[in-house]
Amino acid sequence: MSGVTGERNAPGAGPWLEVIEPGLQTTVQDRGRPGHARLGVSAGGAADPLACALANRLAGNDTAAAALEMTLVGATVRFEAPAIIALAGADMRAEIDGAPFPPFRSRAVPAGAVLKCGAALHGARAYLAVSGGIDLTPVLGSRSTHLPSRLGGFQGRALRRGDRLPLGGPGAASPGDPEHFGVAGGPLMLRPEALDRLAPRPVLRVTPGAQAERFDERARRLFAESEFTVSATSDRMGIRLDGPAIPTPGDGRMPSEGMPLGAIQVPPDGAPILLFVDHQTTGGYPVIASVIAADVWRAGQLRPGARVRFETVVPEAARAAYREQQAWLRSDGLLVPADATR
C-alpha cells in the first residue's frame, strides 16, 4: 500500500479545492487510524488533534472529518465552489482575497475565492477545514496521510502545486444550512474566553514510562528538572530534544517492544526523543516517560527552537484530564456567532 489511487483522488466533477502554493508541508489529516500497529502502521492523524477538531466544528463538520494540516508556513488554495471554511491552531496571518481571516472562526466563501496563509506567528501547525471535509478514499479507515509509508491522504504525500482535492458531496454541511452553520445561519467563532485554554504553555504533562524504574535517581531528577529545546531535525515521526544528556540504563539499548504515541525514548547519546504521530510502532531504547493524551496537541504546536519542560502526573490524573478535554470540545456554547465581515 504505497499510496492512494482511485477516482476520488483524480480531478473530475467538483466541488474541488485547488492548491496554488503548498507551503512548507501541507497534508490531509483526520483523527488517524488506530488499531493497526501489528501491521507496522501507527495511528497518525492530526499532530494537533484539538485544533483539527475545532476547525471541523467551526466548518459544520463532524470532528472526524479530514482537513488540511499546514506546518510552519501555510498553503495558498482556491475554492472552486462555494464553501464554509474555518482555520484553527497557529496564526498564519491568513487572508481571503486580500482580507484578513484570523483563526478560530468560520466564514462562507464564494466560488473562486483564494485563501493565502503565511508563516506561523507562533506555534507550528494550523488546520483548514472545509464544509463536507476533504473527500478522499479512506485507507484502513482513515484519510490521514502517513508520510513514512506513503499511505493514505492524497497519494500518500504532502501536497504540491496544482493538486486538486475533492470536497464532501451530498449530505455534507453546505453554505447557508443553519443546522450546521451557526445558530442563526451565520459564521461562528470560538468563544473568546476559550482561547485562554489554548494559550502556549511550555510544560507537557507525562506519566512514568515503561522503563522509568530502570533509570537511576539522578537520571530521573535531571529529566524532571531540566528544560529542553526542540531540535530542527524534529518531524511528525519524532520530536528530538536538545539539552542535558540523560544517563541511560546499561548501554541505552533493550530488546525491541511496542511503542505508543508520546513515549519519550532515551537513546545511548542521552538526547530524548518524543515519539510523535507518525512514530515507528516498535523501538529498542528505554522509555523514561510518556506524554499524556490531553497534551498531545501541545506537542503538535512545538516548533524548532521552542523550549519545553515535563511535569509528572499520576495515570488517574492523565485519564481525568483527557475526559475533561473531550467534554469541553463537545460542549454546547463553545462556539458563538461571529460577524461574517471580520
pLDDT reported for residue 179: 41
Question: What is the pLDDT, as a whole number, of residue 169?
Answer: 57
DSSP string, 203-266: EEEEEE-TTGGGS-HHHHHHHHH--EEE-TT--SSEEEEESSPPPPSTTS----EE--TTEEE-
What pLDDT was estimated at residue 200?
87
CB 48 within 8 A of CB 62: no
14 with 135: CB under 8 angstroms?
no
- Residues in the chain predicted with pLDDT less than 50, given as ranges, are 1-8, 10-12, 170-184, 340-342
Contacts of 205 (CB under 8 A, 6+ apart): 291, 292, 294, 295, 310, 311, 312, 313, 317, 318, 321
- Residue 185: per-residue pLDDT: 56
Domain 203-329 annotated CATH 2.40.100.10? yes
3-class SS of residue 57: helix
CA 10 – CA 155 distance, rounded (Å): 10
| 3-state SS, residue 37 | helix
DSSP string, 270-308: ---EEE-TT--SEE-S-EEEEE-GGGHHHHHT--TT-EE
pTM: 0.91
**Which segments of the chain belong to CATH 2.40.100.10?**
203-329
Give CA separation, 166 vs 16, 28, 127, 148, 180, in Å: 5, 12, 17, 24, 20
Q: What is the DSSP letter of 168?
A: P
Q: Give, in degrees to the nearest 5, the angle at Cα 187 between 296 and 28.
A: 40
Rounded to the nearest angstrom, the gap between the alpha carbon of residue 200 and the centroid of all alpha carbons in its chain is: 15
